[in-house]
Amino acid sequence: MALWGGRFEQGVGELTQEFGASLPVDKALYRQDIAGSIAHSAMLAAQGVISQEDADAIRAGLKGIEADIDAGRFAFDINDEDIHMSIEAELTRRIGEAGARLHTGRSRNDQVATDTRLAAKALAKELMSANLSLRDALVQAARDAGGTVLPGMTHLQHAQPVLFSHHLLAYVWMLARDFKRLAAAFDAADASPLGAAALAGTSYPLDRGMTAEGLGFARVIPNSLDAVSDRDFLLDLEYACSVMAVHLSRLSEEIVLWSSQEFGFITLSDAFSTGSSIMPQKKNPDFAELIRGKTGRVVGDLMQLLMTVKGLPLAYNKDLQEDKEGALDAAHTLSQCLAVMTGMVGTWTVNADRMRAVMRKGHLAATDVADYLAKRGMPFREAHAVVGHLVLTAEKRGVDIADLPFEEFKAASELFEPDITGALDLDAVVAARTTEGGTAPARVAEQLKLAEEAQSADARTVENLTPVVEMGQGA
């Protein structure tokens, strides 16, 4: 009979027991559950609700169970339903009556909310560290790129030349925003529900501040109903995961393109490529494609939780048992994607000559030619039309606008002088983009410095986070 079975004349059937059990998922939270129970029992003893002798026995028993789970020696039983009952039942078997006193003043409702918040903090912190590692790899790749220029694109068409380092830094700033979302998710989870009991609090003289402090929570949730029913912190975590996964997917798409024969901008390391079972020549960017594909899985986890919580009345409902699997999956999947992407970026070979070779296609200097005319008094819209005609002429001749003879420019407008050749030099075009955030080398150097300063600040943020109960391995 289950620990809650006193009101029932018979147990649930085998099918319903399996259907209702959360143990296959929430056993991953065993360290969080044990930490919460140790903090709760210490507080009960301090408040005189249980004896210090019982609290000491509970702590020793729980530490023994944790060690057994860590070592893979603990046999989980599906009949225990969830991690809370599994650990409590084993504790009582090991230490007797003292174990049965552990649940005094507590409900599984505030217990599971506590475990889940502790897990969300641990997962957010792990992802914040992984985020920093990828940013480090991208910043190093940007530094290594030096003056390498590639065709910047809009609509996947050649638009204007940019430094490759400038392009990579765009992803660094995306990831910096992702870090802030993870930090916000950590903060949202950093509040203790323990002591809210089932929904209304309890008549025992609990010290919620003591358990919050003991578990490393920054504060106590002020409303007991909200404490057991809130899963916004998981939505925040899964949203942060989803946006970052989308950013990784965008970079993955570019890696797939850049490593193709048509582009040839980069060559992936063999360690981050695969071959074909039938075509010996193939070197496939499978891992970039997998990251792109796994993004749907992470976003799907967010959608699942949104649909789970959308119609729930206060307070706790069994639907909330479905809150953990998606969050654990999203965080684990994203963690793997970050590690793989960090490896890919850190080991690719940049083909700078190939990038420069394709710069002679797409008329990348066209905007600067129009600016040349505008700076000499021609309205920009008129200059746009003049240069558009020059592009059309070049297209008909099968050449780039930079390859047209000066006579064609002079025929298009008397404002053109021989120095137009300066406006057609792609390195000069890049260097001219001197506005803040632009692609000129001096501006990119500023961006690199800002990016490194932001990373240092974010690294300090991780170091200063309130303590977390790390996720276990043995479950």
The domains of the chain are located at 5-100, 115-199+222-357+447-463, 366-424
Express each pLDDT in 260-285 by its tens digit.
Answer: 999 999 999 999 999 888 888 889 99
Query: At 6, is the pLDDT very low, low, confident or very high (cuts 50, 70, 90)?
Result: low
What are 232's two structure tokens? Answer: 């916004």
Helix axes 441-463, 164-189, angle to 10 degrees: 20
Catalytic, 335? Answer no
CATH of domain 366-424: 1.10.40.30
Contact present, 230 and 196 (Cβ < 8 Å)? no
pLDDT at position 12 over 70: no
Spell out the alpha helix ranges (H) of 320-365.
Answer: 324-347, 352-357
CATH of domain 115-199+222-357+447-463: 1.20.200.10
Query: At 359, is the pLDDT very low, low, confident or very high (cuts 50, 70, 90)?
Result: confident
pLDDT at position 213 over 90: yes
Catalytic residue among 84, 276, 277, 363: 276
CATH of domain 5-100: 1.10.275.10
Catalytic, 276? Answer yes
The pLDDT of residue 10 is 62
pLDDT at position 410 over 60: yes
Express each pLDDT in 111-143 by its tens digit.
Answer: 999 999 999 999 999 999 999 999 999 999 999
pLDDT at position 16 over 60: yes
Catalytic residue among 129, 155, 192, 335: 155
Q: What distances in angstroms separate CA 234 from CA 230, 242, 313, 371, one per listed residue?
A: 9, 12, 18, 50
Separation CA 287–CA 291 (nearest Å):
6
Contact present, 377 and 415 (Cβ < 8 Å)? yes
